[in-house]
A and B are shown apart, each in its own frame.
Chain A
Amino acid sequence: GAGVSQTPSNKVTEKGKYVELRCDPISGHTALYWYRQSLGQGPEFLIYFQGTGAADDSGLPNDRFFAVRPEGSVSTLKIQRTERGDSAVYLCASSLNEQGVSPLHFGNGTRLTVT
């Protein structure tokens, strides 16, 4: 079946601009995660949704970052007033999370470049 889909695959934006990154999880997966991966680093947790609500947003670096999942399926990560340090690959993952964290299914990521 279809996996986790992230769009766009690449995004180049100017410093100070606003960007939105989209994630379509696997159908039926109630849990959705956003991670950020910088070059040479492992994925860094940003936020986790269980259904429509953010169960844990402790990884969001500051108030320029915000994410929504209004209908419990598609999620959008929003970054305001982008900075060059925001450049990274943004990964989305979904899972069933029936008993603890079941395997995360990752998308291929959105590579964000802030110039």
Chain B
Amino acid sequence: GDSVTQMEGPVTLSEEAFLTINCTYTATGYPSLFWYVQYPGEGLQLLLKATKADDKGSNKGFEATYRKETTSFHLEKGSVQVSDSAVYFCALERDDKIIFGKGTRLHILP
């Protein structure tokens, strides 16, 4: 069945470092792809999405490009902040439901 695999955490970086969180998917066809984020003490929320191949989703300085050749949707940010510390979930849409990866915990040190 359809699934999402993302890099294991925790990922620890210093403030202003470059961030990449890898995500690959297995699916038939070309599902919409998402990154959701869970900040401490808050519910999951949508960070960005891409609905077709070569689309780039972006929000809050984060970007991810839908790569059908490599079935990937890696999350990147050029300069992270302490406030980016959270758990990040890669996900895909299949049959009107969202399938999530296991999540990657990100710690940003001041």
The proximity string for A residues 68-101 relative to B, scoring 1 for CB distances below 8 Å and 0 otherwise, is: 0000000000000000000000010100010011
Binding site for B on A (CB under 8 A): 3-4, 31, 33, 35, 40-45, 48, 50, 55-56, 91, 93, 97, 100-101, 103-109
Measured as residues with beta carbon below 8 angstroms from the partner, the interface class of chain B is 20 to 34
Query: What is the CA–CA distance of A104 and B43 in the complex, to the nearest angstrom?
Result: 11
Nearest CB in chain A to that of B38: its residue: A106
Q: List 23 A-B contacts (CB under 8 A).
A: A4-B43, A31-B96, A35-B100, A40-B102, A42-B91, A43-B44, A43-B89, A43-B100, A45-B97, A56-B95, A97-B96, A100-B32, A101-B96, A101-B97, A101-B98, A104-B44, A104-B46, A104-B98, A105-B45, A106-B44, A106-B45, A107-B43, A108-B42
Binding site for A on B (CB under 8 A): 4, 32, 36, 41-46, 49, 89, 91, 93, 95-103
